[in-house]
Amino acid sequence: HGSLFACWVHERKHKSIRRYANPVQNTRGYDHTVLAEVTSHHIAALRAPHALRFQRGLVYPRKPPARVQSVIAEALGLDDPSLVEGTCIESRHNDFETCRKRDVVVVKVSSNGWVVGEVWMHLCICSTHVSLVSTWTLKQMSSETRSAEWIVRDHPELFATSDIITSLIWTPLGHDAVRTLVPSDLF
């Protein structure tokens, strides 16, 4: 089949189905049982008080411990560790999408410019939602296959979470290289 692309969004959905599919012993009504359990799980999740909030920013933020606040503040060059108000692994960057830690994203850097990188962390600093993204270097881009190859490097930068355009489907090409599919509107 060639190379498989990593698509963590689908993997996260696959986990929720496996949660109910694996323990089923009676295979006579297997499909019905799994569908009923997954549907019940989704209905319960939709009943949560904040389930249908589509505000941009951190999803389930937590206040980091004082030691973690100090480390983050020092790394970012902040004088006061209390400026780091919250951290989380998932953030909503538009009305329809969220991205998580370790996702590969496209970030808008100017009116018609963008960069690609891996999300390391989502933060709330001084009531501003930002994402720490390790940006990568473009090696080559193909308009025929709508893909790009990137050199992976540890080069973390802070971006406004709202500047994240979308998450990308990607596959590793070796130790320090990655191939991504690139949405057609970015060509």
> In 3-state terms, what secondary structure has residue 173?
coil
Q: 106 vs 20, 93, 120, 154, CA distance in Å? A: 34, 11, 14, 16
Residue 8 pLDDT greater than 70, yes or no: no
Q: What is the mean pLDDT of the chain?
A: 86
Q: Which amino acid is at 141?
A: M
What gap in Å lies between CA 59 and CA 41, rounded to an integer? 19
What confidence score (pLDDT) does residue 5 get?
A: 61
pTM of the model: 0.72
Mind listing the pLDDT tens digit for each residue in 121-171? Answer: 999 998 899 999 999 999 999 988 899 999 999 989 999 999 999 999 999
What gap in Å lies between CA 179 and CA 9, rounded to an integer? 17
